[in-house]
Amino acid sequence: MKFGVIVFPGSNCDDDMIHVLGEVMGHSAEKIWHKEEALPDFGLEDVIIVPGGFSYGDYLRAGALAKLSPVMQAVVAFARQGGHVIGICNGFQVLCEAGLLPGALLRNRDQQFISRVCHLSTETHDSALTAEIPRDRALAMPMAHAEGRYYCDAATLVELKQHDQIIFRYASPEGNVTDEYNWNGSVESIAGVCNRERNVYGMMPHPERASEGILGGADGQYLWKSLSSWIESHVASPA
């Protein structure tokens, strides 16, 4: 399997992602420029990452212009065919704007940029991204955003719960989900969701910034290991 990392003008986490996936986790990883109109040589055993940053300067609103990039038509088609796509921070915003994930990311509750380590409660293990996360562990990861407050209407929230699409919630270091640790005011402390087909994922915290001990923690590795193990066991390798 290999990873493709989309690069927009204003992306600033693409090199971090390439480093972690390639140098740390040992996968093949390459950048894909936003003007590309196709994803050549990427199959269902591969993964597309939409990384964090400030695509197009966050003009209009975060992710709104990036969804119009030529490459996003290919990313949408890849996802519709069953390919795995992960959006992190600004990438989560882009995937919501593109209609690949439900809901939207709004300005933080206190109208301030938040940069801190948060903890995540894993709400479902029935996904490629979370299947191997220890069930008794709250993951520690950095968050850094001004428009990270997840919002959806009441009907969408019901559907998210019915179809087990909430993958992460903000929590205490012990894993308790309470308002005290809902840093940005997201509806029901939601920090990450997936689509109903369970092949498109979005999350605001940064697992790529928590994948090496030298950075203070490596909880992000649980996600990459889970994802690669799941795809290797569920998706047939090309002949």
Catalytic residues: 89, 206, 208
Residue with the two structure tokens 């989900």 = 177
| Token duo for residue 100 | 């690949």
Which pair of structure tokens corresponds to residue 84? 């795995």
Residues belonging to the chain: 239
Report whether 66 contacts 96 (CB < 8 A). no
The CA distance from 36 to 170, in Å, is 35
Non-local CB neighbours of 68 within 8 Å, separated by 6+ positions: none
Mode of pairing for the β-strands spanning 139-145 and 149-151: unpaired
Q: How far apart are CA 125 and CA 139, in angstroms?
A: 14
Contacts of 108 (CB under 8 A, 6+ apart): 114, 145, 146, 147, 148, 149, 183, 184, 185
d(CA 56, CA 66): 7
Element at 16 (helix H, strand E):
helix 14-19
CA 150 to chain centre: 13
